[in-house]
Amino acid sequence: MSDTFDEEENRSTEAVPVPWGSSGGFSLDDFDPESFDVSGAPSATDAEDAATKDDDPFSHLTTGTELGGRYKLEKILGRGACGVVFRASHMVIGKKVAVKCLYPMLRSHPVLVERFFREARIAAAVDHPNVIKIFDGGDDAETLFLAMELLHGETLGERLERGRLALQEARELFLKIAEGLAAMHERGVVHRDLKPDNVFLTVGDDGRPGEPKVLDFGISKLKEPGRNDLTALGTIMGTPFYMAPEQMMNAKGVDRRADVYSLGVMLYEALSGQLPYNGENVADIFSAARSASCPALGDLAPHVSPEITAIVAKAMQVEPGGRHTSVDEMRAALEAATWGSGLDENATLEQLAPPARAQLPTPKPPPVFEEASPSQIDNFQTRVLARPPVAEPALPGWAILAMVALALLALASIAVAIVAILI
């Protein structure tokens, strides 16, 4: 299981709301990205390298450090290209939280800072059990941070590394993911980076599966009056394997149907155990996706019903107009469909494939003038039974003696005739 958002204790996923304007808090509504200096902004590569350098940019944040006057840091849970996630506890109520901190050198880049805090605005706007809760943020000691619910479990990506999902497991999971996405779309949010690594499968205190959570709104598109989209011209936003073809061309113009496409790819992978398209680079993946050259889901997973195969195929249409008009529409279709085809879903593809037709031997005619045994006769011809040998009738003894006497008499007669001739 992943440590991404939780460890062995206090695994509650219930959010405790903290007012944005509380002591030391950060009001996102009043946030002005232009107030940050844009000179000397580092590249994404610089940010990634910062996580491995000896001069750790978060060296001032150690176990026991108090952040924002509200959170006490406990340990690092993970690092990313733009920051690090700590496990922490609220200093007043003791609740365990995950604190996501932006690398200090990135605070001079207004676009990255805006995206960082926009994630909190989006999550705050979407209050749904299948969407992660982010309930606080701040700026403390040159560190910009967000506080979010602490989760225990693993990502869907980690789960799929162990193999495809069972039909019932996939049904329950994807209906809930669709519910979370639908709630986002209702609030005008398009995720734009929906993938297995951005879905967290929570586990409750009793060890049972909890609610899946849609994560990471860093590049989500939130329609807000007066706010410009933060996608730079020519920049690919998202993960190519799961991106809709139109998003690869221009991320600024996508709508909720891009998330429908991504959900279709995820379901395809979850049920078949492999991605529909692959490639060594973005161009290869884009070309394959545009040509829609992937095998049908039912061909890779014969245990999946034709109904589900058709729903996934519709979600993955190249043109947005050919897809489900909304995640809600796709969810309704998934809920009403029969998922299984009746074949054993635990069998391998070789076992599920129809058996090859047996090669029948070419019939040969049986011999006409020779006796034949059953092993020499073809099963597909009329059997010719060998005729049993005819036994000769036995002669009585007196007849045999008579025949011998006649033979001796004949020989004697021949001998007498020869002597007569010689005299």
Catalytic residues: 193
Contacts of 343 (CB under 8 A, 6+ apart): 302, 303, 352
Contacts of 212 (CB under 8 A, 6+ apart): 130, 156, 173, 176, 177, 180, 199, 200, 201, 202
What does the block give as tokens for 264?
């279709």
Contacts of 193 (CB under 8 A, 6+ apart): 216, 218, 219, 220, 237, 238, 239, 242
Q: Is the dihedral of CA 340, 342, 346, 352 positive or negative?
A: negative
Calpha distance 26→68 (Å, rounded): 10
DSSP state string for 372-411? --GGGS-TTS---PPPPPPPPPPPPHHHHHHHHHHHHHHH
Residue whose entry in the numeric block shows the structure tokens 């969810």: 331
Tell me the C-alpha to C-alpha distance, in Å, between residue 157 and each of 150, 194, 230: 19, 11, 27
Task: Check: CB of residue 283 under 8 Å from CB of residue 289.
Answer: no
| ∠ Cα 198 195 14 (to 5°) | 25
Tell me the three state secondary structure of residue 100. Answer: strand
- For 264, which DSSP code? H
